[in-house]
Structure 1
Amino acid sequence: MLLTDNPIPDADGDRFGFRAHADVLCEAIAATEDLPLTVGVFGPWGMGKSSFMKVCQDLLAKRGLPTVWFNPWKYDQKDEIWHALIQSVLTEIAQKLEERRLAGDLALRERMAGALDTVRRLSQAAAWLLARRAAGPLTAGILTADDVNSAQDALTEPGTETYLHVNRFEQDFADVVGTYTDGGRLVLFVDDLDRCTPDAAITVLDSLKLFLGEASCVFVLAMDYQVVAEAAARRFNAEHPDEARGRQYLEKLIHFPYHLPGVSFEAIVRHLQGKITDSQLSGSRELWELIEVAFEANPRRVRRFVNGLNLTAVTLRLNPDDPPSRRLLLHAGTLLALRMKHPGFFAALRADPGVWRRYDDAEFYKSDLSGQDAALSQENPGVRRLLAAVAHRREGFDFPDPPTPTEIRLLTQVLTVTGGPPNGGAAPAPAFTPAGATGEGQGQ
Structure 2
Amino acid sequence: MASNGVAAAALVVVPDHETAVDLLYFEAIAQTVVNLIDATPNKPLTVGIHGDWGAGKSSVLRMAEARLKKREGVLCLHFDGWRFQGFDDAKTALLETIVEELRDSETFGAKTKKAAKGLLKRVRWMKLAKRGGQLAWNYASGLPSPDQVTEILGKLSGILNAPGEAVDGEALKKVVEEAKEYLAEPEAAESAVTHIRAFQKEFETLLKEAGIKKLVVLIDDLDRCLPKTAIETLEAIRLFLFTPQTAFIIATDEAMIEYAVRQHFPDLPAAAGPTSYARNYLEKLIQVPFRIPALGMEEAKVYVTLLLAQAILGEEARGFVTLVEKARAVIKTPWISNALTLEDIIAAGPDKRTELTAAYRLAQQLGPTVAEGLEGNPRQIKRFLNAVALRKAVADARGLSSEVEISVLGRVMLIERFKPDFFTQVAKQAMTVAGGIVVELKLLESDEATPPRPGGPSAGSPQADGSRTLPEAVADWAGDAWLRNWARLDPDKLLSTVDLRPYVFATRDRKSAFGRASSNALLDRILSSVGSGALGATQVDGDIRALDETGANLLFNTLKDQILAVDQLSASPPHFAGLCALVRHHPRFQGRLLDFLGELPADELGSWAAAGWSPQAFQDGPKTRARDMLRSWSTRGSRQLQITAKATLRSLDGPERR
- Structure 1 stretch displaced more, 70-79 or 238-247: 238-247
Larger Rg: 2
Q: Which residue pairs with 1:87 in the alignment?
A: 96
Q: Which residue pairs with 1:27 in the alignment?
A: 35
For residues 35-60 of structure 1, what are the alpha-carbon distances to aligned partners after superposition, in whole Å with 9 as ceiling and x for unaligned?
Answer: 22111111122111110111001101
Out of 65, 70, 79, the residue aligned to residue 70 of structure 1 is 79
For residues 203-248 of structure 1, what are the alpha-carbon distances to aligned partners after superposition, in whole Å with 9 as ceiling and x for unaligned?
Answer: 2212222235535211111112222223223333279855711111
Distance in 2 of aligned mates of 1:120 and 1:37: 24
The correspondence of residues 243-322 of structure 1 with structure 2, limited to 5 A, is 244-262=276-294, 264-274=299-309, 279=355, 281-284=358-361, 285-320=364-399, 322=400
For residues 103-150 of structure 1, what are the alpha-carbon distances to aligned partners after superposition, in whole Å with 9 as ceiling and x for unaligned?
Answer: xxxxxx4x33542332332332343245389x9xxxxxxxx9778756
For residues 156-205 of structure 1, what are the alpha-carbon distances to aligned partners after superposition, in whole Å with 9 as ceiling and x for unaligned?
Answer: x981599953552222222223333x151101111122222233322221
The question of 1:36 aligning with 2:47 is answered no
Aligned in 2, Cα 1:8/1:115: closer, same or farther, shift over 3 Å?
same
Q: Which residue pairs with 1:439 in the alignment?
A: none
> Alignment partner of 1:324: what SS?
coil
- How far did residue 29 of structure 1 move? 0.5
Distance in 2 of aligned mates of 1:199 and 1:345: 42
Out of 381, 384, 401, the residue aligned to residue 323 of structure 1 is 401
Out of 231, 235, 244, the residue aligned to residue 206 of structure 1 is 235
- Structure 1 stretch displaced more, 361-370 or 273-282: 361-370
Aligned in 2, Cα 1:167/1:150: closer, same or farther, shift over 3 Å?
farther
Q: Which residue pairs with 1:51 in the alignment?
A: 59
User: Bigger relative contact order, structure 1 or 2, given CA contacts below 8 A and separation 6+?
Assistant: 1
Q: Which residue pairs with 1:235 in the alignment?
A: 264
The question of 1:224 aligning with 2:232 is answered no
> Which amino acid is the alignment partner of residue 376 of structure 2?
A
> Which amino acid is the alignment partner of residue 313 of structure 1?
K
Q: Which residue pairs with 1:431 in the alignment?
A: none
Aligned in 2, Cα 1:330/1:169: closer, same or farther, shift over 3 Å?
same
Q: Is 1:39–1:258's contact at 8 Å kept on the other side of the alignment?
A: yes
Aligned in 2, Cα 1:5/1:164: closer, same or farther, shift over 3 Å?
same
> Which amino acid is the alignment partner of residue 176 of structure 1?
L
Q: Which residue pairs with 1:123 in the alignment?
A: 123
The correspondence of residues 104-123 of structure 1 with structure 2, limited to 5 A, is 109=110, 111-123=111-123
> Alignment partner of 1:58: what SS?
helix
For residues 68-120 of structure 1, what are the alpha-carbon distances to aligned partners after superposition, in whole Å with 9 as ceiling and x for unaligned?
Answer: 11111123346343332111111111112x5432xxxxxxx4x3354233233
For residues 3-62 of structure 1, what are the alpha-carbon distances to aligned partners after superposition, in whole Å with 9 as ceiling and x for unaligned?
Answer: 2222124xxx32221223322220110220452211111112211111011100110111
> Alignment partner of 1:16: what SS?
coil
Q: Which residue pairs with 1:6 in the alignment?
A: 17
Out of 201, 213, 233, the residue aligned to residue 171 of structure 1 is 201
Distance in 1 of aligned mates of 2:420 and 2:32: 41
Q: Is 2:46–2:250's contact at 8 Å kept on the other side of the alignment?
A: yes
The question of 1:185 aligning with 2:280 is answered no
Out of 194, 201, 205, the residue aligned to residue 223 of structure 2 is 194
> Which amino acid is the alignment partner of residue 50 of structure 1?
S
The correspondence of residues 346-365 of structure 1 with structure 2, limited to 5 A, is 361=443, 365=449
Q: Which residue pairs with 1:139 in the alignment?
A: none
Out of 381, 387, 401, the residue aligned to residue 496 of structure 2 is 401
Distance in 2 of aligned mates of 1:417 and 1:226: 27
Q: Is 2:103–2:117's contact at 8 Å kept on the other side of the alignment?
A: no
- Structure 1 stretch displaced more, 44-53 or 408-417: 408-417
For residues 316-366 of structure 1, what are the alpha-carbon distances to aligned partners after superposition, in whole Å with 9 as ceiling and x for unaligned?
Answer: 11244x53346x533422343445556676667666769x98787478646
Aligned in 2, Cα 1:246/1:372: closer, same or farther, shift over 3 Å?
farther
> Which amino acid is the alignment partner of residue 256 of structure 1?
V
Distance in 2 of aligned mates of 1:54 and 1:374: 50
Aligned in 2, Cα 1:116/1:246: closer, same or farther, shift over 3 Å?
closer
Distance in 1 of aligned mates of 2:424 and 2:179: 57
The question of 1:387 aligning with 2:483 is answered yes
Aligned in 2, Cα 1:198/1:57: closer, same or farther, shift over 3 Å?
same
> Alignment partner of 1:14: what SS?
coil
The correspondence of residues 358-437 of structure 1 with structure 2, limited to 5 A, is 361=443, 365=449, 367=451, 373=474, 386-392=482-488, 398-401=493-496, 406-407=501-502, 409-413=504-508, 424=524
Q: Is 1:169–1:210's contact at 8 Å kept on the other side of the alignment?
A: no
Distance in 1 of aligned mates of 2:371 and 2:303: 10
> Which amino acid is the alignment partner of residue 122 of structure 1?
R
Across the aligned residues of Structure 1 and Structure 2, the Cα RMSD in angstroms comes to: 4.3
Q: Is 2:46–2:286's contact at 8 Å kept on the other side of the alignment?
A: yes
Report % sequence identity: 22
Distance in 2 of aligned mates of 1:130 and 1:149: 17
Q: Which residue pairs with 2:26 in the alignment?
A: 18
> Alignment partner of 2:24: what SS?
coil
Paired residues in the alignment total 394
Distance in 2 of aligned mates of 1:7 and 1:45: 12
Aligned in 2, Cα 1:350/1:178: closer, same or farther, shift over 3 Å?
farther
Q: Is 1:190–1:221's contact at 8 Å kept on the other side of the alignment?
A: yes
Q: Which residue pairs with 2:627 in the alignment?
A: none
The correspondence of residues 152-171 of structure 1 with structure 2, limited to 5 A, is 159=189, 165-171=195-201
> Alignment partner of 1:79: what SS?
coil
Q: Which residue pairs with 1:100 in the alignment?
A: 108
Q: Is 2:100–2:116's contact at 8 Å kept on the other side of the alignment?
A: no
> Alignment partner of 1:204: what SS?
helix
Aligned in 2, Cα 1:276/1:99: closer, same or farther, shift over 3 Å?
closer
Taking structure 2 as the reference length, what is the TM-score of the superposition?
0.51
